[in-house]
Structure 1
């Protein structure tokens, strides 16, 4: 199969699970013998642009005609079987879908977040869940609240793009790949075409080493941001410390807007180590030495790559009991779920997992079995190729004048 992957890479200064997923899928397909090309832009390149070019960038967020022409030309020249779209913000834009239509190539899109119904894609405002724009005809609430980076001005291009391109997304993509059933449920309630929304979990490469022993530390691995529950974790750890501690240190690895706050909080403490940004090898080593990996997100995670990476290493997870975490973590079997946003509940789960090494060992083994069954590369490849074939068949039926999409429960394509 010949696949062209379309992706706007996130800035390299901060870890991106989405970049990782794209790279791993490309490598997986190539290893299986498929021909895979990449059409990409890099957010890192924005810094090198001239001031006029930077000033004009928001105008290209809803529609980039240059990208449409360039991609359409490449599609006509290479004739791939299918185009797989990932992130298009800010340098690509939904014009990539018009290029696919121009060249008559079916498009599949992985939905890594909630940008189809929420301009910043987080379903969160001021540290709390928010669905004010979900199902609304226009995302004006997001502009009014300045939901993207706390700025009304910065939110406008995203809101305009969502409004102007809603119909193009919903009619121009043969298969939407949701990364969890929880995410799909939200999008279906928002009116997206249910018949083209499939659940395809992200896969994780086998790390090659499983945890041995009970583990040496608790680990938070990810972006240091409010939505990831970092402040909640710090408050829970302070509560545990006030009660005598957990017996193992908390290791925090990552970078992000809360980095100064986290570094100051950890400074001078024996029970906390802030280690900055780990590379891939360091991440795998840190996970494999963990009593548990902590994922206390306050927003509704669409997936949770770090959760599955822990499972792959035979390590249980302590996660917030909402969003995709509910379907990834079986409470009491492969990990523990705490009540979202509650300090005392998170502290209680952390105490429990560190106090009972036998329970931790049983959970870790169960987590590894779940990984092998649902999140391994073999499973990921099978599901990915299956969705490509479905998209190709759907476009072929349309070309023959037999569009079956309405019959697949698409609903209202507003």
Structure 2
């Protein structure tokens, strides 16, 4: 099969970039011809704001480029990951006009919320969900703390809603969790157009031993990831178990400050993936304290692959991923005391924790391998022309 993959890279590398690369590589290892069309956000630097706004809503250069690529490469399906802000929804229309079915993976909630997170001022916010215009998000400047930028995002979504871009040029949307799928249905996407497929790892790392005697957090250091709750819990734990924090982001100064006053907290910054896997595998627990509606939570299945139980906040897709008492534990999102109690329970039940390690790896092998997800991907590609 000939497949065109489309992705707009962010300024900072993140989960979408890794997924895009992993899925493309997997398809190639299975003998498919993959043509990658990518644009990086570094092109935004120095761009006139009005020009950027126009390209976000409709990038005619991309429209022409993609039609030319389709005529040359003749893909049988186009798999989109991200079009925001520079590729624009014009790319879907290019595929429609060339007769190429479109599959769009839903990595975030951009179609339903200007900042794509459903998170504002430290808490969940659904004020724009299902409402035409996203007026609350514009007024509050939810995207980049700017009313103008938020207005551009809302204009892009609303204009293309009126043009039926989401319903007539996209054949299939892919949601990584049942929670996210239902949010998009609630926001107005046709349920019949949304397919469920989990994320996956390729290649899969080998299990670790869990004998490192520490807990670990891996992710972006930002408010929606629950860093405040995590650090407050470790302050209460008082050094009962060390905590290694891997990642970077706007809350790095807060983490650095915590390393100076909270016993056992260590900040490792960004680390290569191989080193992250090694750290995960030796950890007794991975803490996943997010306070927003994660669409999936790749870090959790990375922990499962290493056989490491996950202590996760019971919110959004994370609640689906982690089965309490089997592959980890749940705690109430944002509840420091509950997180402390779950960690203390894990530390006082080493036999149960060891059983969870075995169950976590078994869960990975049953649901999140390349083989299982390749099979599901092919089902979706085959379905796309008929939706």
Q: Give the direction of change, closer, same or farther, for the CA distance of 1:315–1:99 in structure 2 (3 Å limit).
A: same
Deviations 1:230-276 (A, max 9, x none): 111111111111xxx32x21000111111111112213654110011
What is the match of residue 319 of structure 2? 326
What is the match of residue 148 of structure 1? 143
Please report the TM-score for the alignment, with normalisation by the length of structure 1. Answer: 0.90
1:289-308 → structure 2 map (5 Å cutoff): 289-308=282-301
Which runs of 5 or more residues in structure 2 are unaligned?
Answer: none
Residues 1:5 and 2:15 are matched in the alignment = no
State the alpha-carbon separation in 2 of the partners of residues 44 and 251 from structure 1. 32
State the alpha-carbon separation in 2 of the partners of residues 145 and 196 from structure 1. 32
Q: Give the direction of change, closer, same or farther, for the CA distance of 1:222–1:64 in structure 2 (3 Å limit).
A: same
SS of corresponding position for 1:267: helix
Residues 1:231 and 2:224 are matched in the alignment = no
Q: Is the 8 A contact 2:255 2:267 kept in 1?
A: yes
State the alpha-carbon separation in 2 of the partners of residues 185 and 225 from structure 1. 26
| Residues 205-214 or 182-191, more deviating | 205-214
Q: Is the 8 A contact 1:311 1:368 kept in 2?
A: yes
> Which residue of the other structure, out of 49, 67, 82, is the alignment partner of 1:87?
82
Q: Give the direction of change, closer, same or farther, for the CA distance of 1:304–1:107 in structure 2 (3 Å limit).
A: same
Q: Is the 8 A contact 1:214 1:357 kept in 2?
A: no
Q: Is the 8 A contact 1:107 1:172 kept in 2?
A: yes
SS of corresponding position for 1:324: helix
Residues 1:132 and 2:130 are matched in the alignment = no
| Residues 222-231 or 348-357, more deviating | 348-357
What is the match of residue 20 of structure 1? 18
What is the match of residue 197 of structure 1? 194
Deviations 1:310-357 (A, max 9, x none): 001111001010101121110111000101111111111122223322
Residues 1:57 and 2:55 are matched in the alignment = no
What is the match of residue 64 of structure 2? 69
Q: Is the 8 A contact 2:26 2:370 kept in 1?
A: yes
1:15-414 → structure 2 map (5 Å cutoff): 15-47=13-45, 51-53=46-48, 56-166=51-161, 167-241=164-238, 245-246=239-240, 248-267=241-260, 270-392=263-385, 394=386, 405=387
State the alpha-carbon separation in 2 of the partners of residues 192 and 222 from structure 1. 29
Please report the TM-score for the alignment, with normalisation by the length of structure 2. Answer: 0.96
State the alpha-carbon separation in 1 of the partners of residues 284 and 212 from structure 2. 4
The alpha-carbon deviation at position 213 of structure 1 amounts to: 4.4
The alignment of Structure 1 onto Structure 2 pairs a total of residues equal to 385
Deviations 1:332-384 (A, max 9, x none): 11000101111111111122223322221111110111111111110110011
Q: Give the direction of change, closer, same or farther, for the CA distance of 1:252–1:182 in structure 2 (3 Å limit).
A: same
Which runs of 5 or more residues in structure 1 are unaligned?
Answer: 395-404, 406-414
State the alpha-carbon separation in 1 of the partners of residues 381 and 348 from structure 2. 46
The alpha-carbon deviation at position 294 of structure 1 amounts to: 0.8
Q: Is the 8 A contact 1:319 1:338 kept in 2?
A: yes
Cα RMSD for the two superposed structures: 1.4
The alpha-carbon deviation at position 195 of structure 1 amounts to: 0.4
State the alpha-carbon separation in 1 of the partners of residues 301 and 47 from structure 2. 43
The alpha-carbon deviation at position 121 of structure 1 amounts to: 1.0
